[in-house]
């Protein structure tokens, strides 16, 4: 097998031949990462919204229960609040 001397790779040849493909691969990878980040962000925002909704529902239930306890306290003329003293 004889070795043939090829044309040496110059920076200009690299830029013309390989740089566009490298840019393309880089852009594809960046796009994939962007999609993953956006999907994660959507999932996190959804979880946050669910937690906010749950918190609001819990607080509303607390308010209703507190009003009922206050009404019972007034009716029985007692104070059900626990004092640390």
Query: Quick check: 83 pLDDT over 90?
Result: no
Mean predicted confidence (pLDDT) in 73-81: 89
* Sequence spans of domains, the chain: 26-76
CB atoms within 10 A of CB 39: 10
Convert 8-34 to b/e letters by CB count within 10 Å (16 or more is b): eeeeeeeeeeeeeeeeeeeeeeeeeee
pLDDT: which is higher, 72 or 19:
72
- Angle of CA points 13, 19, 22, to nearest 5°: 145
pLDDT 10s digits, 3-53: 556 777 788 887 888 888 999 999 999 999 999 999 999 999 999 999 999
The whole-number pLDDT of residue 1 equals: 46
């Amino acid at each position: 097998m004889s070795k043939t001397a090829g044309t040496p790779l110059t920076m200009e040849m690299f830029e013309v031949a390989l740089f566009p493909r490298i840019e393309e691969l880089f852009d594809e990878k960046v796009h994939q990462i962007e999609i993953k980040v956006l999907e994660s962000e959507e999932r996190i925002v959804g979880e946050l919204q669910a937690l906010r909704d749950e918190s609001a529902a819990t607080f509303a239930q607390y308010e209703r229960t507190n009003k009922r306890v206050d009404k019972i306290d007034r009716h029985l003329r007692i104070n059900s609040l626990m004092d640390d003293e």
